[in-house]
């Protein structure tokens, strides 16, 4: 079980760093679906890992990170919906 959780934690960190790299290299916008999705999924993976090790202080930080990413995804879909309504 510990090995699986280590993979989950490393995957979460990888997703956050991958998204950060893609935005800074200009391949993704900071409001793109994939950037927000990477942040949300990465935060969830890290939270699972941290809960197992009872690292509650950092769980709070990553819960906030994930909440901001979720809000960003909701805003992405809101903008997408608004654009599609304008097109009609």
Prediction pTM value:
0.85
> For residue 49, what pLDDT is reported?
96
Tokens of 52: 């197992």
pLDDT at 10: 96
pLDDT for res 85: 84
pLDDT of 87 > 90? The answer is: no
> Predicted confidence band at 32 (pLDDT cuts at 50, 70, 90)?
very high
- 3-class state of residue 27 by DSSP: coil
In this predicted structure, the answer to whether residue 86 has a pLDDT above a threshold of 90 is no
Q: Angle 2-24/33-52 helices, nearest 10 degrees?
A: 150
- What pLDDT is recorded for position 84? 86
């Amino acid at each position: 079980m510990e090995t699986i959780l280590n993979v989950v934690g490393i995957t979460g960190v990888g997703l956050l760093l991958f998204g950060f790299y893609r935005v800074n290299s200009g391949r993704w916008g900071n409001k793109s679906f994939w950037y927000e999705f990477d942040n949300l999924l990465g935060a969830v993976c890290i939270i699972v890992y941290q809960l197992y090790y009872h690292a509650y202080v950092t769980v709070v930080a990553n819960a906030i990170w994930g909440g901001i990413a979720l809000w960003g995804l909701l805003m992405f879909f809101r903008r997408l919906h608004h654009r599609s309504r304008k097109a009609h």
